[in-house]
Amino acid sequence: MSHPAAADAAAIEHAAALLRATAERLAAAGARDEALARYDEPKPLLGMIQRRPTMRPLGRAWRMGSLLLQRDGAVWATGISTRVAEPGRPQHHTASVETRRAYRAAALVGGFPMGESVNHGITPIAVDETLIGASGPLFVKDGQAWARWGRDAPVLLERYLDDLADLLLHPPQGA
Domain boundaries, the chain: 4-169
Q: What is the pLDDT of residue 98?
A: 80
pLDDT in tens, 90-129: 666 677 878 888 899 999 999 999 999 999 999 999 999 9
What are all long-range contacts of 31-34, with beta carbons under 8 Å and residues at least 24 apart?
31/62, 31/165, 31/168, 31/169, 32/62, 32/168, 33/60, 33/61, 33/62, 34/60, 34/61, 34/62, 34/63, 34/68, 34/81, 34/116, 34/117, 34/118, 34/119
pLDDT in tens, 2-51: 567 899 999 999 999 999 999 999 999 999 999 999 998 867 666 666 66
pTM exceeding the 0.85 threshold for the entire prediction: yes
Q: Are 41 and 53 in contact (CB under 8 A)?
A: yes
Q: What is the pLDDT of residue 1?
A: 45
Q: How far apart are CA 108 and CA 49, in angstroms?
A: 20
Burial degree of 88 (CB within 10 A; 0-12, 13-18, 19+): exposed
138 has which bridge partners? 147
